[in-house]
């Protein structure tokens, strides 16, 4: 953040907060900013997240004060008051979250006072300060979540009676999968929830269709928080110091049996779950993974899957897939480009852990968000397979290598339930890698110029009839 970039993919703090809030069932975001802020989020983030759409309350349907010059000059508080009063009458929702963009923050509107007026009318409403100039979309996720938790008493369902929080020893909150910035967020959350279910742990995924209405009421009852991104560490630390919930952190979500096994052993130990049951579930899923890898093995050798690859995307989304492709699949990592803005100590930790895990690997890990610089790095690298965002497609085309769109922005795929996280997510990744390699086989030629595509395809060629 802060330096000029080409092809910026990390958008702003307001957008991160908007997409976080609108992914919670029953939550209504209200943007206090210029009219274009919501449209920029819709067109520039949602629609590039596997063609995400308006959904229940997003798209053009997001309430927005649509700041005008008059509000810049005289202040926008009264316009906000009017908007809030009318939003609760028009938009159906359980609670309302006022998110402030750059303009009202510079003007200095008294947004907390306006929000308080709504609270005094018994509406569940809070304000979170989210000016775009204060950070990226990732910071917006952090700001939205910490804002919600700090003011949770103002949005929680109440039946008039304050009851003590009863801990659920088997409940974990999953944090760090950022809605829409992680293009597979719904599938990833489901994959993690399903994986945890097998060891008897319940997971609050909090966002999307997998999060039932109970989840937000039990967030403080959890026994453990699991963080999959550096951007959820602040949230975990807040929950630890204010609600006494410990946390464990992973640099990215797990993909496949090996990594998911590590996660489950860690969670099982923290929750004091029966170790035999944990191991039995992991063993069962390892067998399942082995079955599918055996099924795919012929294609692996026939089409030359053992390629040198590069992977580009958010830390949370690239590290797990990179590890799975390396071990057990045996591909050769060449370059990993992490595109989210991370503190130096987190960068150091990612590099250190990778080196500890793969001491002989010559893979470079680069932290860079500038699309032009990333393209130059990729072109200079000797790679045979590229996984990245739609921005990186061009580099793959220039090099004539298979490309798999896996990270934000992702413009050329529809993504609804797909995900790579957890035990079964690995199979989806395997299928996607396979499709890309087989799809590219027609353009591959070996040293003698022989087309590697099976001769029977007939695509683009004339059909030869016998006797002609």
Partner 1 sequence: MNEIRQRLPRTREKRRGALTAYYGDCAALADELEQEEPRQRIRTYSETDADEVTFAIRLLGRIRGSVTIIHSPPGCGAIKLEDELKAGGSPWLITNIEENDSILGADDKLREAVDLAYRTWRPEIIFILTTPVVAINNDDILSAATEKEDLYNIPVVPVFAAGFRSRTAVYGYDLVFHALAKYVLKGDPGASPIPAVNLIGAAETRTGNIIKDLNGAGVSYNNVLGSISISALQQSLGASASIAIDQDDARFLLEWLEAAHGVVHLEETAPIGLAGTERWLLAAAGAGGSTGQARAYIEEEKAAAAQALERQRLDGVSVIVDLPPEQAFGIAEFVEELGGVVVALSLTHADISHGPRLREWASRSNPQVYIQPGQPFEKTNALGKLKPALYIGKGEAAVWAARAGIAAAAVDSVDLYGFGGVQELAPLFAKALRNSALSRYLSAGGSSYRAGWLSKSANWHIKQEVK
Can the peptide bond before residue 274 be classed as cis, meaning omega within 30 degrees of 0?
Answer: no
Question: Could you give the CA distance from residue 233 to residue 227 in angstroms, rounded to a whole number?
Answer: 7
What is the closest distance, in whole angstroms, from the C-beta atom of residue 293 to partner 1 in the complex?
Answer: 34
Question: Could you give the CA distance from residue 142 to residue 340 in angstroms, rounded to a whole number?
Answer: 13
52 binds partner 1 (CB under 8 A): no
35 binds partner 1 (CB under 8 A): yes
Q: Pick the closer one to partner 1 by CB: 6 or 283.
A: 6
The one among 39, 266, 299, 415 contacting partner 1 by CB under 8 A? 39
The one among 23, 77, 87, 100 contacting partner 1 by CB under 8 A? 87
64 binds partner 1 (CB under 8 A): yes
Q: Which residues contact 127 (CB under 8 A, 6 or more apart)?
A: 97, 98, 99, 100, 111, 112, 114, 115
What is the closest distance, in whole angstroms, from the C-beta atom of residue 4 to partner 1 in the complex?
Answer: 4
The one among 20, 23, 25, 38 contacting partner 1 by CB under 8 A? 38
6 binds partner 1 (CB under 8 A): yes
Interface region with partner 1, contact rule CB under 8 A, candidates 61-69, 143-151, 260-268, 438-446: 61-69
The one among 21, 24, 27, 37 contacting partner 1 by CB under 8 A? 37
Q: Pick the closer one to partner 1 by CB: 83 or 315.
A: 83
Is residue 177 within 8 A of residue 419, CB to CB? The reply is: no
405 binds partner 1 (CB under 8 A): no
Question: Could you give the CA distance from residue 40 to residue 59 in angstroms, rounded to a whole number?
Answer: 10
345-404: contacts with partner 1 (CB under 8 A): 372, 390-391
129-188: contacts with partner 1 (CB under 8 A): 131-134, 136-137
Question: Could you give the CA distance from residue 146 to residue 428 in angstroms, rounded to a whole number?
Answer: 32
431 binds partner 1 (CB under 8 A): no
The one among 75, 94, 107, 149 contacting partner 1 by CB under 8 A? 107
Place of tokens 């949770």: 152
222-261: contacts with partner 1 (CB under 8 A): none
12 binds partner 1 (CB under 8 A): yes
Q: Which residues contact 59 (CB under 8 A, 6 or more apart)?
A: 42, 46, 53
415 binds partner 1 (CB under 8 A): no
Interface region with partner 1, contact rule CB under 8 A, candidates 42-50, 286-294, 378-386, 449-457: 42-50
What is the closest distance, in whole angstroms, from the C-beta atom of residue 24 to partner 1 in the complex?
Answer: 14
**164-170 own/partner pairs: CB under 8 Å, 24+ apart:** 165/220, 165/221, 165/243, 166/221, 167/221, 167/222, 167/223, 168/202, 168/218, 168/221, 168/222, 168/223, 169/223, 169/271, 169/272, 170/200, 170/201, 170/202, 170/223, 170/271, 170/273
What is the closest distance, in whole angstroms, from the C-beta atom of residue 35 to partner 1 in the complex?
Answer: 5
Question: Could you give the CA distance from residue 221 to residue 195 in angstroms, rounded to a whole number?
Answer: 21
Question: Could you give the CA distance from residue 75 to residue 70 in angstroms, rounded to a whole number?
Answer: 8
């Amino acid at each position: 953040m802060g330096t000029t970039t080409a092809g910026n993919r990390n958008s702003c703090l307001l957008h991160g907060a908007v997409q976080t809030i609108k992914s919670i069932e029953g939550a209504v975001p209200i943007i206090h900013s210029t009219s274009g802020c919501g449209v920029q989020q819709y067109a520039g983030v949602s629609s590039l997240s596997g063609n995400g759409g308006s959904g229940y309350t997003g798209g053009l349907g997001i309430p927005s004060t649509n700041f005008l010059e008059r509000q810049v000059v005289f202040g926008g508080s009264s316009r906000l008051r009017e908007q809030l009063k009318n939003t609760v009458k028009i938009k159906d929702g359980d609670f309302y979250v006022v998110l402030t963009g750059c303009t009202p923050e510079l003007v200095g509107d008294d947004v907390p006072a306006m929000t308080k007026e709504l609270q005094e009318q018994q509406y569940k409403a809070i304000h979170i300060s989210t000016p775009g100039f204060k950070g990226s979309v990732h910071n917006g996720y952090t700001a939205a979540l910490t804002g919600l938790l700090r003011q949770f008493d103002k949005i929680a369902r109440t039946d008039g009676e304050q009851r003590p929080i009863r801990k659920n020893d088997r409940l974990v909150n999953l944090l760090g999968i950022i809605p829409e910035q992680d293009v597979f967020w719904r599938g990833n959350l489901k994959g993690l929830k399903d994986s945890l279910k097998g060891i008897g742990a319940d997971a609050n995924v909090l966002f999307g269709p997998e999060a039932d209405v109970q989840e937000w009421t039990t967030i403080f009852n959890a026994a453990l928080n699991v963080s999959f991104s550096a951007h959820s560490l602040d949230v975990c630390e807040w929950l630890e110091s204010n609600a006494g919930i410990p946390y464990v952190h992973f640099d990215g979500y797990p993909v496949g049996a090996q990594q998911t096994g590590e996660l489950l052993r860690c969670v099982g130990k923290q929750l004091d779950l029966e170790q035999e049951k944990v191991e039995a579930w992991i063993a069962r899923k390892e067998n399942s993974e082995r079955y599918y890898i055996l099924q795919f093995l012929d294609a692996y050798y026939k089409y030359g899957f053992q390629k040198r690859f590069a992977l580009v995307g958010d830390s949370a989304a690239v590290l797990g897939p990179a590890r799975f492709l390396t071990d057990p699949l045996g591909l050769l990592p060449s370059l990993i480009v992490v595109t989210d803005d991370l503190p130096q100590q987190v960068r150091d930790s990612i590099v250190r852990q990778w080196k500890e895990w793969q001491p002989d690997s010559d893979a470079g890990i680069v932290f860079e968000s500038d699309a032009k610089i990333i393209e130059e790095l990729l072109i200079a690298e000797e790679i045979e397979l590229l996984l990245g965002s739609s921005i990186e497609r061009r580099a793959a085309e220039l090099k004539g290598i298979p490309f798999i769109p896996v990270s934000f922005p992702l413009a050329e795929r529809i993504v609804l339930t797909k995900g790579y996280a957890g035990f079964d997510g690995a199979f989806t990744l395997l299928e996607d890698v396979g499709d890309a390699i087989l799809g590219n086989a027609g353009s591959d030629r070996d040293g003698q110029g022989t087309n590697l595509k099976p001769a029977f395809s007939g695509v683009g060629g004339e059909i030869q009839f016998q006797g002609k």
